[in-house]
Each structure stands twice: as C-alpha cells, then as structure tokens.
Amino acid sequence: MTRYIFITGGVVSSLGKGLGSAALAALLQARGYKVRLCKLDPYLNVDPGTMSPFQHGEVFVTDDGAETDLDLGHYERFTGVPARKNDNITTGQVYTEVLSKERRGDYLGATIQVIPHITNEIKDFIMEKEGTADFVLCEIGGTVGDIESLPFLEAIRQFGNEVGRERALFIHVTLLPYIPAAGELKTKPTQHSVKELMSYGIRPQILLCRADRPIDEDERNKIALFCNIDREKVIPALDVSSIYEVPLSYHAEGLDHQVMDSFGIKDIANLDLSIWNEIMHSIREPESEVTIGIIGKYTNLADSYKSLNEALIHGGIANHVKVKLKFIEAESFESEDGIGNQLEGVHGILVPGGFGARGTEGKIRAVQYAREKKVPYFGICLGMQMAIIEAARNLCGIKNATSSELSDAGEHIVGLMTEWDQGGKKQAGTDAELGGTMRLGAYPASLTEGSKVNEIYGSNKISERHRHRYEVNINYRKQLEEQGCIFSGLSPDGELPEIVEREDHPWFVGVQFHPELKSKPFDPHPLFVSFIDAATKQSRLV
C-alpha cells in the first residue's frame, strides 16, 4: 500500500520546502521504507529548460533526459533515488496534455474545465506513482494563496479524500518571523496561512515551522490552538549550519514519529541515521580548508549552480576538508590585467557549464592561468570546451580557434556535429537546427585504459548526464594530443570527445557532461573527490 504525503508552503516562498521534503524522505528511508519524491510546479512554462538560472536556479537534468526543477536535485541527493522525467509536472505540461486530448477529440465533445479536466490530469500524475514506493512525497511549488496553485490544491484535496485519511497526509511548511522590537517570533502569518489552506478544504495535520531561533512553548501552544493541530505536530524547523543536518534536526524534533502517528502506523521500524551522523561529523570537524574559484556568469546567486556547489562540498566531506567557494565573474578576466590577484589563494579553478558568448574570453584566460601555473583545473561542459579552445589557440597555434556557439567566424574546434560529420551519420539529439536539439540525459562513455580518469572512476565504462548542444570536433584530436591534451573519454562509437585531461599537469580534467548531477553526500562523485584531493595538495604547496 502506497501512502501519500503532500507538502505545501505558506507565508513566503524560499522556505526550503524541497529540502524539507527530501530530508523527510531520507528519514523514512532510514527506517527502511521505499520512498519516491515528486514536484508539482504551478508555473506555466512547460519545463524549466528555457528559464533563466538567474530567476529559477539551475536546471536539473535526469537520466531519462528531462530538464526539471532544481528541487529534484535535492530529492536525489538526499535519497539516492534517481529522479525521473515523470517526477515533475508543471501547469504548462498539464494544459499541453489536456489541450492535445481536446484536439484529438478524446473528451467526446465535453466542455473542458479546470475542474475536472485539469485536476484529473494532476491526480493521474500522482496516482501513476501508486505501487512504486511505500511513501510518495509530493511537493507543491509556490505559496498557498497564489492564483496558479489553486488547481493543484484542489487536485490534492480530492486525491486525499479519494484514498482516505490513512493513506494521505498534509504537511504545511510556514515561517515564524522574528520581530526585534517585540523580541519575539510571530505566529499570526502561520495562522493566516493555515486558515487560507483550510478555505480550500485542506486541513494540514503537521506544521513545519521555519524559524531562526528556538520556538518557545507558549508559541507552540498558541499555533496548536489557533490552527487546530496537535501540539506535538507543530514541529520547529530551525535554521541549521548545513543542509545535511536537516534530517537529524527533524528527527530530533520528532517529525518522523509524528508522520508515523498521523498514518496510524504502530510498529515503527528501527531507525539508522549513521550515514547522516558521519556526514555531519566530517562537516563539523574538517582537517583543513581549501578555496575553489568558480569562474562563472551567474556569480550572485548560489542556486544557479546548486548541484555543482553541493558536489564540491561532497568532495570536501570525503576528504575531511572544508571547501570554500569563491565565485568570480568571468567577464572581469577579460581586460589585460583582469586576472590580477583574484586567483591568488585559490587552490582549484573550476569553469562550470554555461550558454552564450558572454564571459567566455575570461573563462579561456582562467584555463590558461590554471594550465600554466599548474593549479588544479576542472572544466565542466562549457568549461571543457573552453579548455580545448585555449589549447588550440595557445598551444596548437590556431589563433582564431573558437566554437560556433560563440562566433560564426574563426575555426570551429567546437561546433554542431553536423558541421563536420558529412557522412550523414547523426548522433541522437544532435541536429543543425536549434530548439529541442540538445544532447540531454544519460550517455555512456569509454575511458582510455591507464588514463587519470580511468584511475579516478576505477572503471573504463561510465554513464553520465549531458545537457549541451555543441561538441568538440574529433578531427582535432591528433593536433591537440600532440600538445598534451589527451582525449581520455569518448562516446562508445569513438565520435564524440567526452573527457580531456592534460598529461603535464597535476590535475587538469575537462568533461563534456555534468558529473555534479549525480553526486551525493553519502556517495560523492569520484571526480569531485579527486579534484578536492588535488586542491588540498595544492593548498599545502602555496
């Protein structure tokens, strides 16, 4: 029997509902249950693939090639369950589906309405998870009271009624703001938010109350009384120093017990939190500290590179070092003296994925600095393409080397495969036209026996997730390898360079895929573990 937990949010956005859902799932897993997480997003975009990372944070890519919400990244990092395309649905997808059914005549002439057609489509999305886990946790994006959320709230209300109380639980995440003048946490916004949720017919059984300081008994009692919720089900969710502390702190506040109680589950399985305790031990007591310079375009918002930041932290957990991230605006490297002392004290340089020409000349300079000064370099996707262009320009003497994404002129060392593959052979997802033509999702690669990456992975067959349109032109392989730029990972047909490394450098690796998407705190990605290890060695030199 699958049980369903619906997580809504109130008062303000950015309360960490995604993280909270993921942490609760991790607790249920720690009791031996099989979990599955999904997200309902009320925005109208069909998927976040086209949304600016400035506004929406990173786009998380699944093995099956979907561009999804970054919360699916939290889900995967906390549970280890690979996210799938059908773990995320948006209003845009719901309407697209309903309208195409209408055009096909599937509704047999009926008038199409939000209730029941839109809500049924949403319920079907949830019901499709039946039987796949003991607990399905379903997060509803946005804040209760938003116009866009209404069909989703109506759908989960109906769903809850249909499966019955013993199979559906509603958890509401709220905020208790601290008012310095009054010297206290305020409960009124929470009361209003619960009232709003009840006006849609949903009575939350558990409240997760975010606060920046302990919630005293009076406040807890007051919330319980006014919101008609058991006192022990008003659960403090206080700010913590690391997101990986959240499962431990929720458990300490009794969340998993209250979930069991709400479902009437009596024989509660034992709990094993050892992985989370070990992770927190490594985070709390690091042996040293390293600084990684990230040369990017969205340097003001950590969410734009969410998985990347977490993967670097995971590399730190594995090495027992604290990883400090220094975001550097790539454009600031473009002037003559641009690099200046910005990279002083940086023990590893990372150029992450990115799109468009802005900042790319600066990224190429950062690669040159890392290569010449022998600072560990990790290039991800665009960062690998920049490393290839740098080597082509400065080592192979192809002064106008570039990528067709950056300029029509010049020699295209990086471009669309169709630019050089005249044999009519086409890789799936690679086409001369833009729009829906990205290489997305998991692809296998073969690694050269004895290469650095072969040693790091401990295998010569890997599978990693991609999200890009352009490729390094394999025809330049010989020229680049003569200059020490080794193509140590290729697609199984040998046509697409997936990894390059330098033989004359302590740690220089560029990958065409996004390894950060698969890293977990309890199962850190080997490339990040190795990169942080190299940065730690570098920190001992300087």
**C-beta closer to ligand GLN: residue 469 or 520:** 469
User: Which is the catalytic residue, given 227, 381, 498, 505?
Assistant: 381
**C-beta closer to ligand GLN: residue 258 or 307:** 307
Among 20, 293, 354, 376, binds ligand GLN (CB under 6 A): 354
Asked if 513 and 496 touch (Cβ cutoff 8 Å), the reply is no
Q: Per rule CB under 6 A, is residue 69 in the interface with ligand GLN?
A: no
Query: Closest approach of Cβ 91 to ligand GLN, in Å?
Result: 26
Positions in 100-139 near ligand GLN (CB under 6 A): none
Positions in 244-303 near ligand GLN (CB under 6 A): none
Query: Closest approach of Cβ 404 to ligand GLN, in Å?
Result: 10
Query: Closest approach of Cβ 356 to ligand GLN, in Å?
Result: 7
Query: Closest approach of Cβ 498 to ligand GLN, in Å?
Result: 12
Q: Is 227 noted as a catalytic residue in this protein?
A: no
| Nearest residue to 275 via CA among 314, 235, 326, 227 | 314
Q: Which stretch binds ligand GLN (CB under 6 A): 19-27, 50-58, 210-218, 349-357?
A: 349-357
Angle between helices 274-284 and 306-319 (to 10 degrees): 90
**C-beta closer to ligand GLN: residue 155 or 496:** 496
Cα 57-302-207 angle, rounded to 5 deg: 70
Query: Closest approach of Cβ 470 to ligand GLN, in Å?
Result: 3
**C-beta closer to ligand GLN: residue 468 or 502:** 468
- What CA–CA distance (Å, rounded) separates 538 from 379? 17
**C-beta closer to ligand GLN: residue 233 or 365:** 365
Among 10, 315, 353, 510, binds ligand GLN (CB under 6 A): 353
Q: What residues have CB less than 8 Å from 5, skipping those under 6 apart?
A: 24, 135, 136, 137, 138, 168, 169, 170, 171, 259
| Nearest residue to 515 via CA among 498, 534, 493, 536 | 498
How distant, in Å, are the alpha carbons of 187, 188, 199, 427 from that of 192? 9, 6, 10, 54
Positions in 457-496 near ligand GLN (CB under 6 A): 467-470
**C-beta closer to ligand GLN: residue 306 or 469:** 469
Query: Closest approach of Cβ 352 to ligand GLN, in Å?
Result: 7
**C-beta closer to ligand GLN: residue 64 or 184:** 64
Query: Closest approach of Cβ 485 to ligand GLN, in Å?
Result: 18
Cα 530-248-523 angle, rounded to 5 deg: 25
Q: Is 514 noted as a catalytic residue in this protein?
A: yes
**C-beta closer to ligand GLN: residue 362 or 521:** 362
Asked if 136 and 3 touch (Cβ cutoff 8 Å), the reply is yes
For 402, the token pair is 């570039």
- What CA–CA distance (Å, rounded) separates 330 from 361? 8
How distant, in Å, are the alpha carbons of 322, 395, 407, 410, 511 from that of 399? 40, 9, 14, 9, 23
Q: Is 381 noted as a catalytic residue in this protein?
A: yes
Query: How many residues in the shown chain lie near ligand GLN by CB under 6 A?
Result: 10
> Which runs of consecutive H residues, i.e. helices, occur in 80-187?
91-104, 119-127, 150-163
In eight-state DSSP terms, residue 533 is H
For 234, the token pair is 């008003």
User: Which is the catalytic residue, given 314, 412, 468, 514?
Assistant: 514
* Type and span of the H or E element at 377: strand 377-380
* Residue whose tokens read 């720690």: 30
Query: Closest approach of Cβ 353 to ligand GLN, in Å?
Result: 3
Positions in 382-421 near ligand GLN (CB under 6 A): 382, 405
Q: Per rule CB under 6 A, is residue 355 in the interface with ligand GLN?
A: yes
For 116, the token pair is 């029941």
For 377, the token pair is 């370099």
How distant, in Å, are the alpha carbons of 190, 224, 257 from that of 276? 30, 30, 18
Which residues participate in catalysis according to the annotation? 381, 514, 516
Note the residues at the interface with ligand GLN (CB under 6 A).
353-355, 381-382, 405, 467-470
